[in-house]
Each structure stands twice: as C-alpha cells, then as structure tokens.
C-alpha cells in the first residue's frame, strides 16, 4: 500500500508522493504526560559514558493502532542525556536501524568530528563513539539524526531526545526536580492516516509534511498533573516544518527563563513564545490549586505571510492540559536575575552574509566536498542572514551558540536576548547574529549551517564551514560516506 511504501526503511531522499490522506483522531486530554527517562550513564576513567541505540519500533499515537516508528533505546523518542559543565562525556551509539544514521548534538560546542553531521554516518550494525568535554552553560539541548537526504524521515519517525546541561552558576529558585516540577516537553506535529500511521505529504505548502495532530512527549492529548505552585517546561519544537506560537488558553502571563543555549539574564514575562523547528524555550508557569489550563499553540498574526505557509497553516492547536492538584507544594519565588550573558565584542568581527532563497544558501545547495566558509578558531564573527523568499525559513549553525543582534535593524525582544543556535526568518527578514567560533580546529571535517525546516535541509539547504588555526584552509574536501 502507499503507506507501507512511505514508511519502508529506505534511504530514498524524497519521500513518496502518494501519501495517504490525513486523519485527525479526536483526543480527550486524559492520558498522563509521559516524561522521557533520564539516561543511565557509567563512569569510565573519569568519562561519563552513555549508550544510545537508534532502532525501529511501534508506537501508538492512536490507541489500538500501532504505528511504525523509531526511537533511541526504545520505540519512540529517546532518553534525556544529562551532564554537567566541565564533564567529559562519551556517547556509544550502536545503529540498530536498517539504514545509516548519525546522531547530531544540536546546540553543543564540540569538535566537528564528534558533532554527528551528515558526513559522520554510522552504518547499520556499526558503532560510533563521539566524546567531548562539556564547555558551555546550563541549557536544554537536543540530539537527532542528520543523514543527508533522510533527516525528515528519521526525525519524524521519532528519533529525538533532549540533552540537558547543568552548571553550578544557576541560581536557586528555579524548579529543577526532573519530572516533579521541571518537565521536558517535546512537541511535534503528527500527520496520521486512518490506520494511525505517520504519513508524509509535502504538497500544498512550502514547509514539508505538516500534521494537525500534536504530540507532547509522544502523546496526543496529554495531561500534566501539577503538584507544585510553579512548573518549568523545557519546550522543544521537534516538528519538521511547523512553527508554534505557545501560550495558555486563558491568556495568562508566564516567564521565559531560557532560550536555546541557556538561561536569560532575567526572567521575561510574556503571553506568547514562538518556536520554529529546533528552537527551545524554558518557561515557568504559576498555577492555582485545583485549576486546569491548556497550553496552546495560537495562530500567529499573519502579516505578509501567505496563510497557506504561515507557521504551517496558522491555526490554533491544543498541546497539553495542565491540571493542578487541590493542594500544591510551595515553590520558591523566581530569582530576579539569572546568568550574566556577556556581550560579544563585534567591532572588529569578520562579517559574512548568507542569502536564503528557495533551497539555496548563497545560490547553491550543499556539496559535501565543497568548503563554503573557513573561519579562524575561537574568533568572533557576525553573520548576516537574509530570507529573500515569500515564506519562512530558519537558520541553525552547528558547533556554536550565538546572540541575535537585530532583525531588520531592530533589537530582538528580551526573551530571545540570550544564547541561540537557531533563529526564525520570516519573509524578507534580515537578521544579524554574533558568535564566538568553535575552539576546535580541524581542516578535514566541516561544521554545517542550514535551514532547520527539515524538508529544506534534506533538499540541500545547507552549507559547510571549516574551523582552522588561522582561518585559511582547503576549498574542497573529499568526504567519504554519504553522497549528495
């Protein structure tokens, strides 16, 4: 059948176009929200070692209708990896899929050869063991596959996990008991057919497959039982192409406490937080005893964006309902100040420009053997990113956390004035980002930058940068492994 063709584990770089029609099951918001387990680790000569096994499985989005899926160490999603700044970690990855995969550590400062980019394929049955020393502030990062041409499929089938970094700089007062008052929330749009299977259909919009069922930690219509006065939600938009615009159904104010790469300077009160694919925000919401409130993604203001494309169709979606217990354990007050975010000195910075158009960055799609940019290890750079299309893209850089300086000349709102690794670009947006380039020189393995609308990424909307000691190096490489 068409659905079986779509889901067959092949490396075809385009998904079947004969997709089944979407079926949107009714959900009752009664299922308890599952919390991904914390990954077990062991110490091996001072190195914290985790094991990940990407594998195929079955997952029920609709009760009684098991869907073909993929997960790390299980049938869907993956455990939360957790380590502290300064620790050395190693991730032993054993590929139990029938296809090559990679595991990319999104948002991590680490050597390019450990970053799980598309060059670093792990063949079926093979093992990879990236290792590095955690060298960045407390943050909610994530990991996912990056095999060139099939990222959308592997990611959408469920290969997604969080990587939480701790440090000793974080102030008291923030909820931090995992699964008690501090919850990961992996949000994905799901396109299901009448058999409860995931389907892929990119027709009719610019953003790839869009689904109208919303999964929170893998469950449609989940409920979070709140037992404390305040809860922290670590939101990840793990959709392939859908933008979310999160808020609460009653319009209540909540606080954004962290962006992609760590805590903000101070909590920022908002009623909405928009996340494009791959972006994260940590929020803290206060609850009254006995009340219920829906976390919702709201249709954004469309502005000049084509409604068919805008944020993947621009409508409201209920995500997870928060139900507070009749009595709530007290939570400490939110601290008034968090991290100190040093302003990067950009006056002498090297400036580069990136124009996004169609599936091109600076007029071409990716070539694994072409070096697009060469940067000097540890230097500070400013990148100007320009979306010339009438629909949205976003932009992610591997190996760094950056600061968004301005969008169309205007400084960003306070809740995104922190560390970022992915930014949205609406039609016509010109954004400037500043970053300290990776501290690891390697003239052979490049880092990627790309659009994180994964169907665009699969179609080649990526580029590569090398980091070298002095900012010079080869203009071509011969990368083995995956071919474009």
Footprint on this chain of Cu ion (rule: CB under 5 A)? 393, 451, 453, 456
- Kind of pairing, strands 373-376 and 462-468? parallel
Q: Toward Cu ion, which CB reaches closer, 435 or 451?
A: 451
Contact predicate 347/318, CB 8 Å: no
Phi, then psi, of 35 in degrees rounded to 5: -115, 125
Closest CA to 36 of 77, 83, 82: 77
Shorter beta-carbon distance to ligand C2O: residue 398 or 456:
398
By CB under 6 A, the count of residues binding ligand C2O is: 10
Q: Which is nearer to ligand C2O, 146 or 359 (CB)?
A: 146
Residue nearer to ligand C2O on the CB measure, 230 or 280: 280
- Chain residues 259-298 in contact with ligand C2O, contact rule CB under 6 A: 278
- Residue 242 binds ligand C2O (CB under 6 A): no
Name the minimum Å distance from CB 456 to Cu ion.
3
Q: How far is the CB of 461 from ligand C2O (least distance, A)?
A: 11
Q: Which of 287, 404 has the CB closer to ligand C2O?
A: 404
- How much of the chain is helix, strand and coil, in % rounded to 5? 5, 45, 50
Using a 10 angstrom Cβ sphere, with 0-12 exposed, 13-18 middle and 19 or more buried, the burial of residue 365 is middle
- Applying CB under 6 A, does 415 fall inside the site for ligand C2O? no
Q: Which does 451 bind (CB under 5 to 8 A by kind): Cu ion, ligand C2O, none?
A: Cu ion
* DSSP string over 234-260: EEEE--SS--EEEEETT---EEEEEET
Q: Is 185 in the site for ligand C2O (CB under 6 A)?
A: no
Q: Which does 232 bind (CB under 5 to 8 A by kind): Cu ion, ligand C2O, none?
A: none
Q: Which residues contact 308 (CB under 8 A, 6 or more apart)?
A: 204, 205
209 or 229: whose CB is closer to ligand C2O?
Answer: 209
**Least distance from C-beta 120 to ligand C2O, angstroms?**
12
Given the complex with Cu ion, which of 120 and 425 has the nearer CB atom?
A: 425
Answer with the entry of ligand C2O, Cu ion, none that 420 interacts with (C-beta below 5 to 8 A by kind). none
| 112 binds ligand C2O, rule: CB under 6 A | no
Is residue 153 a contact point for ligand C2O (CB under 6 A)? no
Q: Give 410's contacts (C-beta < 8 A, 6+ positions apart).
A: none
Q: Rounded to a whole number, what is the distance in angstroms from the first to the last CA of the chain?
A: 28
Query: Where would I find the H helices in 19-167?
Result: 151-156
| CA-closest candidate to residue 393, choices 279, 280, 301 | 279
Q: Which does 453 bind (CB under 5 to 8 A by kind): ligand C2O, Cu ion, none?
A: Cu ion
By CB neighbour count within 10 A (0-12 exposed, 13-18 middle, 19+ buried), where does 292 fall? Answer: middle
Nearest residue (CB) to Cu ion, 170 versus 459: 459
Instruction: Name which of 241 and 399 has its Cβ closer to Cu ion.
Output: 241
Nearest to 57, CA basis, from 193, 199, 158: 158
CA distance 278 to 106: 8
Question: What SS3 class is residue 89?
Answer: strand
106 binds ligand C2O (CB under 6 A): yes
Could you say whether residue 450 binds ligand C2O (CB under 6 A)? yes
Q: Which does 436 bind (CB under 5 to 8 A by kind): Cu ion, ligand C2O, none?
A: none
396 is a site residue for ligand C2O (CB under 6 A): yes
Count Cβ atoms below 10 Å from residue 344 Cβ, excluding itself: 16
Question: Which of the stretches 41-49, 164-172, 303-311, 447-455 binds ligand C2O when contact is defined by CB under 6 A?
Answer: 447-455
Q: How far is the CB of 380 from ligand C2O (least distance, A)?
A: 22
Task: With beta carbons less than 8 A apart as the criterion, state whether 261 and 253 touch.
Answer: no
For residues 265 and 418, the answer to whether their CB atoms sit within 8 Å is yes
146 binds ligand C2O (CB under 6 A): yes
Residue found by looking up tokens 């923030």 in the block: 174
Write b or e for each residue in 3-25: b if 16 or more Cβ atoms lie within 10 A of its Cβ, otherwise e: beebbeeeeebebbeebbebbee
Q: Should residue 448 be labelled a site residue for ligand C2O when binding is judged by CB under 6 A?
A: yes
Binding test (CB under 6 A) with ligand C2O, winner from 109, 144, 234, 432: 144
CB count, 10 Å around CB of 337? 11
State the binding string over 309-348 for ligand C2O (x if CB under 6 A, else -): ----------------------------------------
Contact residues: ligand C2O, CB under 6 A? 104, 106, 144, 146, 278, 396, 398, 448, 450, 452
């Amino acid at each position: 059948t068409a659905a079986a063709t779509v889901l067959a584990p092949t490396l075809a770089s385009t998904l079947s176009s004969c997709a089944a029609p979407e079926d949107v099951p009714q959900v009752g918001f009664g299922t308890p929200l599952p919390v991904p387990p914390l990954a077990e680790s062991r110490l091996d000569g001072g190195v914290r070692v985790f094991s990940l096994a990407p594998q195929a499985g079955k997952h029920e989005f609709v009760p009684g209708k098991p869907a073909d899926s993929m997960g790390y160490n299980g049938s869907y999603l993956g455990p939360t990896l957790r380590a502290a700044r300064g620790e050395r970690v190693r991730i032993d990855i054993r590929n139990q899929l029938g296809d090559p995969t990679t595991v990319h550590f999104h948002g991590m400062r680490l050597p390019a050869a450990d970053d799980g980019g598309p060059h670093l394929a792990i063949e079926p049955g093979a093992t990879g063991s990236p290792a590095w020393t955690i060298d960045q502030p407390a943050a909610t990062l994530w990991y996912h596959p990056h095999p060139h041409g099939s990222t959308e499929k592997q990611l959408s089938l469920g290969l997604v996990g969080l990587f939480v970094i701790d440090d000793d700089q974080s102030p008291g007062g923030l909820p931090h008991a995992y699964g008690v008052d501090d919850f990961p929330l992996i949000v994905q749009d799901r396109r299901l057919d009448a058999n409860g299977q995931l389907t892929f259909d990119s027709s009719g919009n610019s953003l790839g497959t869009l689904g109208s069922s919303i999964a929170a930690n893998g469950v449609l219509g989940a409920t979070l039982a709140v037992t404390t006065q305040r809860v922290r939600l670590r939101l990840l938009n793990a959709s392939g192409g859908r933008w979310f615009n999160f808020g609460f159904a009653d319009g209540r104010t909540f606080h954004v406490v962290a962006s992609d790469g760590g805590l903000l300077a101070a909590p920022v009160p908002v009623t909405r937080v928009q996340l494009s694919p791959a972006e994260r925000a940590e929020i803290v919401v206060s609850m009254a005893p006995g009340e219920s409130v829906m976390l919702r993604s709201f249709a954004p203001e469309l502005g000049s964006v084509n409604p068919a494309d805008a944020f993947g169709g621009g409508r409201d979606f209920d995500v997870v309902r928060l139900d507070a217990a009749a009595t709530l354990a007290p939570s400490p007050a939110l601290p008034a100040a968090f991290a100190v975010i040093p302003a990067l000195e950009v006056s002498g910075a090297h400036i580069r420009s990136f124009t996004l158009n169609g599936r091109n960055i600076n007029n071409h799609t990716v070539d694994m053997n072409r070096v697009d940019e060469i940067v000097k290890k540890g230097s500070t750079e400013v990148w100007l990113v320009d979306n010339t299309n009438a629909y949205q893209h976003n932009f992610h850089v591997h190996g760094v956390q950056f600061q968004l300086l301005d969008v169309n000349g205007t400084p960003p709102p306070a809740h995104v004035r922190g560390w970022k690794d992915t930014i949205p670009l609406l039609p016509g947006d010109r954004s400037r980002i500043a970053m300290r380039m990776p501290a690891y020189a390697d003239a052979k393995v490049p880092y990627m930058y790309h659009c994180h609308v994964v169907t665009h990424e699969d179609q080649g909307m990526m580029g590569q940068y090398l980091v070298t000691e002095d900012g010079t190096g080869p203009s071509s490489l011969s990368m083995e492994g995956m071919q474009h």
